[in-house]
A and B are shown apart, each in its own frame.
Chain A
Amino acid sequence: MFRRLETTGGDHVEFEFDGRRIVARRGDSVAAALLAAGIKSFRTTQKSGAARGPFCMMGACFDCLVEIDGETVQACAVPVSQDLLVGRCKQVSLSPRDEQ
Chain B
Amino acid sequence: MVDIVIIGAGPAGMAAAIQADECGASVMLLDEQQEQGGQIYRNVLNADTARLAVMGDDYAAGQSLASALDRPGVLRELSATVWRVDPDGTVTYSVKGVARQVIGRQIIVATGALERPVPLPGWTLPDVLTAGAAQILMKSNGLVADNAVLVGCGPLLYLLAAQMCLAGAAPKALVETQTRGDTWRSLKYGMGALRGWRTLSKGLGLIAAVRRAGVPRYKAATDVRITGTDSAEAVMFSCGGTAREIACDNVFLHQGVVPNTQISRSLGLEHRWNHRQRCFEPVVDVMGATRLERIHIAGDGAAINGAKAAELQGRVTACDVLVKLGRIDPARRHNLVRPLMRALAGQMAVRPFLDALYPPSAEILRPADDTPVCRCEEVTAGDIRNYARIGCVGPNQTKAFGRSGMGPCQGRYCGLTVTEILAKENDMSLQKIGSYRVRAPLKPVTLGELASLAETNGTPTVEEDHSHD
Contact = CB atoms under 8 A, between A and B. Distances in A.
Contacts of A2: 137, 143-145, 250
Contact of B133 (A27, A48, A57, A94): A57
B143 A5 contact: yes
B133 A55 contact: yes
B426 interface: no
A28 to B, nearest CB: 6
A53 interface: yes
A32 to B, nearest CB: 4
A50 B378 contact: yes
B378 A45 contact: yes
A68 to B, nearest CB: 11
B356 to A, nearest CB: 27
A40 B129 contact: no
Contact of B375 (A58, A61, A92, A95): A61
21 contacts: A1-B145, A1-B147, A2-B143, A27-B46, A29-B140, A32-B141, A41-B126, A42-B126, A50-B378, A54-B129, A55-B130, A55-B413, A56-B133, A57-B129, A57-B133, A57-B136, A59-B81, A60-B413, A61-B375, A65-B408, A92-B408
A60 B114 contact: yes
Interface of B: 32, 34, 39, 46, 50-51, 54, 81, 97, 114-115, 124-130, 132-133, 136-138, 140-147, 167-169, 230-231, 249-250, 260, 375-378, 406-409, 412-413, 443-444, 446
Contacts of B444: 94
A71 interface: yes
Interface string A1-14: 11111100000000
A6 B375 contact: no
A35 to B, nearest CB: 7
Contact of B376 (A53, A59, A62): A62
A5 B138 contact: yes
Given A47-B377, A50-B378, A56-B133, A61 B413 contact: yes
Nearest to A95: B407
Interface in A84-100: 92, 94-96
Interface in A17-74: 25, 27-29, 32, 35-36, 40-42, 45, 47-48, 50-63, 65, 71
A53 B231 contact: yes
Contacts of A62: 376, 407-409
Interface of A (DSSP majority class): loop
A29 B133 CA distance: 13
A28 B141 contact: yes
Contact of B50 (A5, A48, A58): A5
Contacts of B34: 79
Interchain residue pairs A-B with the least CB separation, the first 4: A53-B126, A57-B133, A62-B408, A40-B126
Contacts of A60: 114, 260, 409, 412-413
A52 B141 CA distance: 21
Interface of B (DSSP majority class): loop
Contact of A51 (B115, B136, B231): B231
Contact of A6 (B137, B140, B142, B145): B142
Contacts of A3: 143-146, 169
Given A50-B378, A56-B133, A95 B54 contact: no
A53 B146 CA distance: 18
B72 to A, nearest CB: 26
B436 to A, nearest CB: 14
B412 A61 contact: yes
A47 B380 CA distance: 13
Given A27-B141, A52-B126, 20 more contacts: A2-B137, A5-B50, A5-B143, A27-B140, A32-B137, A32-B140, A36-B143, A41-B126, A42-B126, A50-B124, A55-B133, A55-B413, A59-B81, A59-B443, A60-B114, A60-B409, A61-B375, A62-B376, A63-B375, A95-B376
